[in-house]
Amino acid sequence: MREIALVYLDRSGGLQQFVHDCKKYNDSKQSYAVYRFIISINPSDIAELDATLGNYILHNPIQAAQIFQSVCFIAIQTLSLIEQLQTEAQISILLKPTHLPPLPSYVLSLSAFPFNYTSQRFYMSEGVVIAMGTVTKYTQGARFLCTEETCPFSEGFRYIRVHLPGATESATVRNDFVCSLCSSPLQEDMKFRVLGDKQMVEMIDAKVLNALKGYSNDKSHFRIQAFTVFLR
């Protein structure tokens, strides 16, 4: 699937955009622990190229991002795109689909029952925004070092933690991580923390508009409940 991903990036122009993004990182005088890339993908084009990879992206996007992460790391190493990059873990890939298949199973509707949204795949959701929070910061990535000076992992970029969709802040940054080599505590190198913007939005299903029209029938007896969306 790595070979197919590389072929798709080359044909879609994504590889050229990736090289351009790498150049901005390489020309920057700032040191990064995490290099973040947004890759636009067309699920239909990928499915036609390789159905297995297309389905993998639609239904296992987090694992599919790891395939593109590996491809991008090899490209950086082969073409010497970012001189400062040391490990594959420093690359963070966000897959951004241009659209999803127009099928009911890809529509997130909290008014439908039973709720079967246990998988971490892409969904479309339509609703009415009823409240918005302020824009705050969250940790996109962080570098940790072993506190034991004689340990090989007391330097370098062995321990990189990157925020994943659905994870809490404590999953990325906290003070109880330990070294897998010597079991010593890990300490964050604050100079390399990468921050991003997040905003909480309260939404409500679009079907609530029917209840505001001033009439009712047998089909309009339903419960309305808001749900929270994190914009990152």
What are the tens digits of pLDDT across the range 158-186? Answer: 999 999 888 888 899 999 999 999 999 99
Place of tokens 């090289």: 19
Which two tokens mark 219? 């089909």
pTM: 0.85
Cα separation, 203 vs 130, whole angstroms: 6
Architecture category of domain 1-100 in CATH: 2-Layer Sandwich (3.30)
Beta bridge partners of 41: 97
For helices 61-79 and 51-59, the axis angle rounded to 10 degrees is 120
Cα separation, 156 vs 192, whole angstroms: 12
Cα separation, 81 vs 18, whole angstroms: 10
Cα separation, 37 vs 221, whole angstroms: 45
Q: Is the CB of residue 7 less than 8 Å from the CB of residue 23? A: no
pLDDT band, very low/low/confident/very high, at 68 (cuts 50, 70, 90) = very high
Pair type for strands 91-97 and 35-41: parallel
Q: What percent of the chain has pLDDT over 70?
A: 92
Q: Is the CB of residue 55 less than 8 Å from the CB of residue 66? A: no
Structure confidence by residue, pLDDT tens digits, 20-53: 999 999 998 888 899 999 999 999 999 999 999 9
Cα separation, 34 vs 143, whole angstroms: 8
CATH 3.30.1640 region(s) of the chain? 1-100
Which two tokens mark 107? 């529509």
What are phi and psi for residue 207, nearest 5 degrees?
A: -70, -10
Q: Is the CB of residue 174 less than 8 Å from the CB of residue 117? A: no
